[in-house]
Amino acid sequence: MKIALIQTNPVIGDFTGNTARMIKLVAKARDQGCDLAIFPELALSGYPPRDLLERREFIAAQNEALITLVKKTAGISIICGAALKNKGKIGKPLYNGALIIDNGRISGAAVKRLLPSYDVFDESRYFEAGRSSSIIRFKGLRLGITICEDIWNDKNAVDCLYHADPVAEMMADPDGSPDILINIAASPFRLGKAAIKKNIFKKLCRRHDLPLLYVNQAGGQDALVFDGRSLAMNRDGEVFALADAFTEDILIVDSEDTETSEDRPEYPESDEDAMVFTALTCGTRDYVRKCGFKKIVLGLSGGIDSAVCAVIATMALGSDNVMAMAMPSRYSAPESTADAEKLSERLGFKISKTPIDGLMAVFSASLGPILGKFEGSPTEQNLQARLRGMLLMAVANHQGRILLTTGNKSEMAVGYCTLYGDMNGGLAVLSDVPKHMVYRLAGYINREEEIIPSRIIRRPPSAELAPDQRDDDDLPPYDELDPILTAWVEENRSLEEIIAAGHDPDTAAGVIDRIMSNEHKRAQAAPGIKITSKAFGYGRRYPIAQGYREKIGRDKPEGMTNPGRKR
């Protein structure tokens, strides 16, 4: 039996567009002789629809789209993710389900049993958990239908979060175990997850002596990026077919041909820099377009963060749709503007040079009677950033562009950023990328030829808001800051554990204090693209007003607890 694994890149709630695309892809699969086409989790609506699921009109629109899909896909069978009504009197009103459409009619359904409610997931907010697993008979085969998390609870592969093991229960079905395990998913990308996922799948196939067909959503959706990489795995846990990464694709497999093939090499999991760059480019392109924009503007300072963002923007939307603004002040080094202009020439986008000293003079004169002399103060530094943010937003508004903000995760963590200034924007491209990884991305971009001027990479990072300013005047070196950030935010290590790992107690306590003290800034930041296990924003839910601090056997530590810049 020929089966098409169809990974799609839906727009949430665009039922007309999503359905039309699905119909075309089904027709393509049918023309290639496929008997069955399998789509991802919640394929009709796109994942995650979040509180749209609470609107009756949204579900009604989905059901109308389903009727269209059923009518226009005769001649082939389909497994398709959709929100299904809970007809019982108790529980949430919906199931996260999979419909079986057999030659123009709905012939069966399966429902998701394990509903994740951690990190970016909150499915138990909307869905009722299924109580039994579903094995569907199709053309002489027994298909075990599961939805995403349902195959992530194998006690031999992971620390189990749920009491139920849907696959094990299928294998114990008195009417017979499945011949093939099918999993439809909307599993977001993050660093390290591909290896974890493949290990879980491999152990699952070997334990139950089952082949696996896995179909995953692709593309960007808000803060999330879905890497696709749908696959077919044989009973020995070997991948014998693999779809493309981060893009729509159709992968056609034969249920009787499960030998490994060199036709579709695996995506290079070991090349983290390539994966991160591709994920950020995909996430930027889809966020901009799905939000209804076609063009981008960003500030180009001559620093490494804005340079990497400019490359990502150009790869995502094309140089004709990118505009940059260089906004030097008296504190800006001449080479900063020169490097920004050189980068724009190499990438082929327009750059506008707009100095801000004249605006600063006007604002200083207006504020002088109220504030007195504030030259050299944090107020002056922040005012420069806010003037730049105002200019960028004016261009964005007038030209119908979306403004990209260019700050990285390290800066966002410790509040080394200015509210209503360099934090202005519609998308924070690097907000989940620590500074050390920004340098790695620059190296990846320059791997074959120098695109980012080498001087941008060599120069010590500086906000250039004061004379001879450097980031390490206010912060620990990034090679000290970033490991503390990763340990505290992503790994949930305690302060004592971080110190035991070799970090200076005052430095560690100071970094953590600044992380905890700057939640109010991050709460007002633009959404960013998630590429690590724990990103600021979507999925990280800390209170803004709170006084919790971990102790290390002393009172408030010396060091970085009273930062002077960028407030």
CA max distance for the chain: 85
Amino acid (one-letter) located at 258: T
C-alpha pair distances (Å), 223 with each of 120, 219, 259? 9, 11, 37
What is the edge-to-edge ordering of all strands in the sheet holding 134-138? 134-138, 141-147, 180-185, 212-216, 231-233, 239-242
C-alpha–C-alpha distance, residues 501 and 534, integer Å: 20
Q: What is the four-CA torsion angle of 65, 66, 70, 71, rounded to 10 degrees?
A: -30
| Among 34, 80, 112, 198, the one annotated catalytic | 112
C-alpha pair distances (Å), 382 with each of 146, 363, 425, 526? 52, 12, 16, 18
Q: Is 148 a catalytic residue?
A: yes
Q: Is 112 a catalytic residue?
A: yes
| Among 34, 80, 148, 309, the one annotated catalytic | 148
CB 325 within 8 A of CB 341: no
C-alpha–C-alpha distance, residues 248 and 250, integer Å: 7
The whole-angstrom distance between residue 488's C-alpha and the CA centroid of its chain comes to 20
Q: What are phi and psi of 231, to 5 degrees?
A: -150, 165
Q: Is 238 a catalytic residue?
A: no
C-alpha–C-alpha distance, residues 515 and 412, integer Å: 8
C-alpha–C-alpha distance, residues 65 and 60, integer Å: 9
Q: Would you name the residues annotated as active-site residues?
A: 41, 112, 148
